[in-house]
Amino acid sequence: MSIEKVETLVVGGGQAGIAMSEHLGNNGVSHLVLERSRIAERWRSERWDSLVANGPAWHDRFPGMEFADTDPDAFPGKETVADYFVAYAQMIDAPIRCGVEVIEVRRNVGRPGFHVETSDGVIEAGSVVAATGPFQKPVIPPVVPEEAAVLQMHSTGYRNPEQLPEGAVLVVGAGSSGGQIAEELLSAGRQVYLSVGPHDRPPRSYRGRDFVWWLGVLGKWDAAAPGPGTEHVTISVSGANGGHTVDFRRLAARGMTLVGLTQSCADGVLTFAPDLAANIAGGDENYLSLLDEADAYIARNGLDLPEEPEARVIDPDPECISNPLLELNLEHAGVSTIIWATGFALDYSWLKVDAFDESGKPDHQRGVSSEPGVYFLGLPWQSRRGSSFIWGVWHDAKFIADHIVTQLKYQSYRGPGHPLRDSA
Ligand SMILES: Cc1cc2nc3c(=O)[nH]c(=O)nc-3n(C[C@H](O)[C@H](O)[C@H](O)COP(=O)(O)OP(=O)(O)OC[C@H]3O[C@@H](n4cnc5c(N)ncnc54)[C@H](O)[C@@H]3O)c2cc1C
């Protein structure tokens, strides 16, 4: 039986896989994208019903196409985002095969290329791009025993308030997911506890410009690595209900109980770190520093943008910040559900090649791995802060496509006296 051969195999048909296909196609590199489910599946089935993009439509998109029927300054819903990628894949005629899972990739022995086992047979690939996402495996820290009398779920399992049993909800993690889910539950009349760790909380907009614009002109999307000590600092923004700045004090004023980092659980009693005030202060510092940088940018460039002094008004600390809860008896507090918005881990168990460091993390430079012919795409901070976001992955894909083309040129060189075949 003949084995299917492709020059480059792209694993994953999310935004990263589609961006990769566009750049490979533009360079004439024959390729195939395998997606185990549907295009942009995670936007469809691994996110809550009311989720909208965190950035406005003019920003959170690929350069080659705008969102149809969407105000450029609006925040498209998750289905609209998924539909956008389906339309984009059609527009570029991306060779995507859906419903095919890559089960294992191994380097060929004694010859170039890779042996790829899929749920639909074997493929031989010259190179492999792992585009399986920055957020692959939900992580729930082992704090509350599974047998505890409370429903526990990861934020990927949350859909809407009606899905949850009656009772109070503890949301652990106050990044964009945790903050938005907690606010939705509060608005639905639930009693909500929100466990807040270190975070950045940029203003949704300032002086007439959305924060995505400010991060762009201030060069922050292009930062190559998180600042020292901020590796675990999450960013809390929301495009919900037209978009607004995440302000934990205002959530507390509406009845939400803020607590510090969730630490441990014994006999149904949770303990929280005494770090809430410090975490809130860190978020304020980040917020105010962005206003300062924006003001300086406006002054330096003589821009005519409206003053917004009220943006600097920080409400007084509510009781739950000045006198924080350090323990919570789940039963006494009527907590029926814990939602862990605690992030994700990578899972490349299918990729059996030498492209990982001692700790199992991808060993790469801008996505070019230590195993020649293997590439990663869409990793958080792959080349810059924007790497795991819609617009950022497009630029990283371009870089990887260029690298693949260069390698193909080297491989096609046959020595002095032979004409150089332009392989790409
Ligand atoms: C809640 C949430 C909201 C976000 N909102 C925004 C936003 O507003 N703006 C923004 O720019 N970014 C946002 N992001 C970040 C980022 O854009 C998304 O995480 C996006 O889904 C990443 O796209 P991706 O293609 O890199 O990975 P994914 O979307 O994870 O796609 C990877 C694909 O690979 C497939 N796959 C995995 N393993 C295999 C295998 N072995 N074989 C075949 N296929 C496989 C999966 O089915 C999946 O479809 C958000 C992230 C989250 C979690």
The string of pLDDT tens digits covering residues 241-283 is 999 999 999 999 999 999 999 999 999 999 999 999 999 999 9
Contact 287, 202 (CB under 8 A): yes
Q: Between these two residues, 220 and 233, which has the higher pLDDT value?
A: 220
Q: List the one residue out of 242, 8, 229 whose CA is nearest residue 116.
A: 8
Q: Is the pTM value of this prediction over 0.85? A: yes
Q: Which residue has tokens 């901070």?
A: 381
Residues paired with residue 258 on neighbouring β-strands, in sequence order: 194
E strand spans, 26-120: 31-35, 96-98, 102-107, 114-118
pLDDT (mean) for 346-368: 97
| Residues with Cβ within 8 Å of residue 85, at least 6 apart in sequence | 14, 15, 18, 39, 40, 43
Query: What's the CA gap between 239 and 70, in Å, rounded?
Result: 14
pLDDT at 232 > cutoff 90: no
Atom of ligand 1 nearest to the CA of 54: 8
Task: Quote the ligand 1 centre to 14 CA distance (angstroms).
Answer: 6
Residue nearest to atom 25 of ligand 1 (CA): 14
- Cα 253 to averaged position of ligand 1 atoms, centre (Å): 34
List the residue whose alpha carbon is closest to atom 27 of ligand 1. 133
Q: What is the mean pLDDT of the chain?
A: 96
Q: Is 57 left (phi over 0), alpha (psi -120 to 50) or beta?
A: alpha
- Ligand 1 midpoint to CA 173 (Å): 20
Chain position carrying tokens 């990861």: 154
d(CA 404, ligand 1 centre) in Å: 23
Residues with CB under 6 A from ligand 1: 11-17, 34-37, 41-42, 47, 51, 53-55, 60, 101-102, 131-135, 177, 350, 378, 388-390, 393
Query: What is the Cα–Cα distance from 140 to 152, expressed in whole angstroms?
Result: 9
Which is the closest atom of ligand 1 to the Cα of 393?
A: 26
pLDDT at 423: 47
231 near 275, Cβ under 8 Å? Answer: no
Ligand 1 centroid–CA 1 distance in Å is 35
Q: At residue 424, does pLDDT exceed 50? A: no
Rounded to the nearest angstrom, the gap between the alpha carbon of residue 18 and the centroid of all alpha carbons in its chain is: 16
How much distance in Å is there from the Cα of 133 to the middle of ligand 1? 5
For the four alpha carbons of 275, 281, 284 and 285, in that order, the dihedral sign comes to negative
The Cα 110–Cα 106 span in angstroms is: 12
**Is 369's pLDDT higher than 70?**
yes
Question: Where residue 233 falls among pLDDT bands split at 50, 70, 90?
Answer: confident
Instruction: Determine the atom of ligand 1 nearest the C-alpha atom of 378.
Output: 26
- Report the DSSP beta bridge partners of residue 290: none
Distance CA 92, CA 390 (A): 17
Ligand 1 atom, smallest distance to 42 CA: 29
Nearest atom of ligand 1 to the alpha carbon of 53: 8
Structure tokens at 368: 């070019």
Rg of the Cα atoms in the chain:
24
**Closest ligand 1 atom to Cα of 19:** 25
Task: Kindly give the residue spans of alpha helices, DSSP state H, lying in 316-389.
Answer: 319-322
Give the residue among 142, 143, 149 at the shortest CA–CA distance from 266. Answer: 143
Among the listed residues 225, 208, 228, 226, the one whose alpha carbon sits nearest the alpha carbon of residue 217: 208
Q: Which two tokens stand for residue 152?
A: 């526990």
Q: What residues form DSSP beta bridges with 121?
A: 118
- State the pLDDT at residue 95: 98
Give CA–CA dist 176/180, Å, rounded.
6
Q: Say yes or no to pLDDT of 421 above 90.
A: no
40 CA from centroid of ligand 1 (Å): 7
